[in-house]
């Protein structure tokens, strides 16, 4: 199981990382909202532990953008020192699956993680499909019309975002932030990766799925005019 922990308090973060790794989890971490959002949107995690008070953008915004913009269904447990009912409701309304007050026992955090995973794993969508294009997120197998497709690492990330958002248009700025965060390449790398993805997805087939919306971004859909 792979968990992402987004927490800016170094002591809490170190304790959580050590304890989760001791329990057998693979753990990545971020110490600010934007870095956490980038990792969460581009990586494959079984669960996210998310602090609310973060530098950059707060945990509410991270959660809302993951659910709304990235189409992420990854379970989220929010951590906060705020005990007011309105704060708890805001966390749950932004898309969190559970809410844990600070200070907390590490054993309770693990119990919450296990409970959320049991509750959500059976219902989580691990396979994406648009038309005859199928992407298995667990095995990273991509096929179209039964034919297996090979992509590079950026291609897999790009395809997951486009399929999760399908049939909506995904803006260039969102894709660039999801793929590279603040460390944007100097050249127009996104255009190059879109070209490579289109060659793999559409060139061998009669009907294109990847459509350019000029001046805006890209849409993955059977119908280029889909809403």
Domain ranges of the chain: 2-121, 127-220
Query: Residue 64: left (phi > 0), alpha (psi -120 to 50), or beta?
Result: alpha
pLDDT at residue 196 tops 70: yes
Contact indicator for 77, 97 with CB cutoff of 8 Å: yes
Q: 2-121 and 127-220 share one CATH topology?
A: no
Write down the pTM of the prediction.
0.58
Kindly state the average pLDDT of the residues 130-151. Answer: 91
Q: What is the pLDDT of residue 31?
A: 96
- Put residue 222 in one of left, alpha, beta given phi > 0 → left and psi -120 to 50 → alpha: alpha
Domain 2-121 is classified in which CATH homologous superfamily? Response regulator (3.40.50.2300)
Read off the pLDDT band of 10 (50, 70, 90). Answer: very high
Q: Which CATH architecture has domain 127-220?
A: Orthogonal Bundle (1.10)
Concatenating the DSSP letter of every residue in 181-208 gives TT---SS-HHHHHHHHHHHHHTTTSSS-
Confidence of residue 190 (pLDDT cuts 50, 70, 90): very high
């Amino acid at each position: 199981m792979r968990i992402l922990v987004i927490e800016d308090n170094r002591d809490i973060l170190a304790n959580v990382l050590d304890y989760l790794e001791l329990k057998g989890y693979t753990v990545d971490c971020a110490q600010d909202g934007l870095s956490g959002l980038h990792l969460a949107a581009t990586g494959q995690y079984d669960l996210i532990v998310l602090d609310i008070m973060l530098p950059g953008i707060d945990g509410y915004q991270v959660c809302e953008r993951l659910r709304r913009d990235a189409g992420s269904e990854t379970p989220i447990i929010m951590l906060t020192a705020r005990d007011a009912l309105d704060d708890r409701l805001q966390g749950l309304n932004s898309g969190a699956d559970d809410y844990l007050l600070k200070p907390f026992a590490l054993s309770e955090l693990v119990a919450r993680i296990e409970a959320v995973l049991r509750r959500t794993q059976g219902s989580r969508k691990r396979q994406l499909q648009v038309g005859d294009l199928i992407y298995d997120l667990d095995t990273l197998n991509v096929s179209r019309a039964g034919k297996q497709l090979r992509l590079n690492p950026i291609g897999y990330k790009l395809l997951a975002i486009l399929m999760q958002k399908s049939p909506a248009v995904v803006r260039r700025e969102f894709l660039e932030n999801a793929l590279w965060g603040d460390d944007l390449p100097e050249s127009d790398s996104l255009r190059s990766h879109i070209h490579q993805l289109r060659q793999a997805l559409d060139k061998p087939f009669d009907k294109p799925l990847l459509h350019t919306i000029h001046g805006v971004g890209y849409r993955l859909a059977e119908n280029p005019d889909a809403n």
